Amino acid sequence: MTLVSDPSAPRIAVVGATGAVGGTLVELFEERELPYRELYLVASARSAGREVCVAGRYYTVRDLETFDFGSVDLAFFSAGTAVSERWVPVATAAGALVVDNTRAFRADPATPLVVPQVNASELDRRPDSGVVANPNCSTIPLVRLLDAVGRRWGLRRVVVSTYQAASGLGHSGIEELQEASGLALQDPDAEPLSKRFSPSLAFNVLPQIDEVLESGFTREEEKLLHESRRILGLPGLDVTATCVRVPVVNGHSESVWVECADEVGRGELVALLGALPEVTVYDGPLTRPPVPAGLEDPDRVHVGRIRVSPNDPRGFWLWLVADNLRVGAALNAVQIAEELLARGTL
């Protein structure tokens, strides 16, 4: 159990505790034995009063509108950008350190944007804003690979196509995909269900995620660009992306082209990626590449189809798959908390 009596253990709140990422956070607290001396589950008034079991104990979900953030040391926010923009300043003013899982503070210079396997040193001191930002779900697994590649061969250009699951929109996204798929199978002539996804995601792919900006790129694609540059400490890195929603329940995939400053040896590249923490490489002529359905370990980044260009060995392709609710969101947030505790930053 992670509930402890140690007075140095943090008092923790999870805002958005009944959502897909919030629920995964709570699961990970137990799995990874994150210590806390008090735990508060917080959500909107609609979910307040529900009972949630954590490590054998039942907790009543608190109403965000009336919750006292002065009673916690560390608050995880996973309830959407609008909620974070309104309530994170309230939490930090009350003295809580916030790990935020939205885009609300990712561009704030006073807020570190952290993937612990890449830039954990950002957590050596308490941020001026009182917030640590959790990056986008597609950015996190990508930069974990790019950091090692860049240190060895240098990075010149990265081209990414993402294939993002319905769970990127939480429980409601999953439910709509399942319901819309069932409806389409039952009656192909029925009006497609398209509330969260427009047009319908059932048996379809949507080559646009989030709003389209004046540049023609979407906000999701811009997030991947700017976040990768910031986390890697490479403000001039050429990154471009196309983000696509696919009819997969959970697990984001990415096809990635990387151009390096020096020639890349394939054998060394495979060994380098395979030696990274919490990364599994699928290699060999009889080895199938990873796919979102049935990942053996949802807490690892899965990499396959590693191909160095025969025309220019400075460039290579790879395919990666990661559980977006865990690796791409909740797990990274918990690992941030673990680093904060280990470094005495809380």
Q: Is 18 annotated as a binding residue?
A: yes
Q: Is 236 annotated as a binding residue?
A: no
Work out the burial of residue 262: count CB atoms within 10 Å of its CB; fewer than 13 is exposed, 13-18 middle, 19 or more buried: exposed
Q: Is 138 annotated as a binding residue?
A: no
Query: Cα–Cα distance between 34 and 150 in angstroms, integer?
Result: 32
Q: Active-site residue among 137, 243, 260, 302? A: 137
Query: Cα–Cα distance between 343 and 326 in angstroms, integer?
Result: 23
Q: Is 164 annotated as a binding residue?
A: yes
Q: Is 168 annotated as a binding residue?
A: yes
Work out the burial of residue 30: count CB atoms within 10 Å of its CB; fewer than 13 is exposed, 13-18 middle, 19 or more buried: middle
Q: Is 20 annotated as a binding residue?
A: yes
Q: Is 305 annotated as a binding residue?
A: no
Contact between 61 and 43 (Cβ < 8 Å): yes
Q: Which residues, in sequence order, are CB contacts of 308 under 8 Å at separation 6+?
A: 264, 265, 266, 269, 315, 316
Q: Is 19 annotated as a binding residue?
A: yes
Tell me the HSE value of 135 on the side-chain side, using a 13 A CA sphere: 31
Query: Cα–Cα distance between 91 and 80 in angstroms, integer?
Result: 15
Q: Is 127 annotated as a binding residue?
A: no
For 94-146, give the DSSP string: TT-EEEE-SSTTTT-TTS-B--HHHHGGGGSS--TTSEEE---TTHHHHHHHH
Tokens 């039942």 sit at which residue? 58
Q: Active-site residue among 171, 226, 243, 252? A: 252
Q: Is 47 annotated as a binding residue?
A: yes
Length of the chain: 346
Tokens of 54: 């954590």
Annotated catalytic, 137? Answer: yes
The DSSP call for residue 67 is -
Contact between 202 and 247 (Cβ < 8 Å): yes
Annotated catalytic, 260? Answer: no
Q: Is 230 annotated as a binding residue?
A: no
Q: Which stretch of DSSP H or E encloses residue 228? A: helix 219-232
Q: Is 101 annotated as a binding residue?
A: no
List, as residue ranges, the binding site: 18-21, 46-47, 106, 164, 167-168, 188, 245, 324
Annotated binding residues for substrate, written as ranges, equal: 164, 245
Binding residues for NADP(+): 18-21, 46-47, 167-168, 188, 324
Residues that are catalytic: 137, 252
Which residues are documented as binding site for phosphate?
106
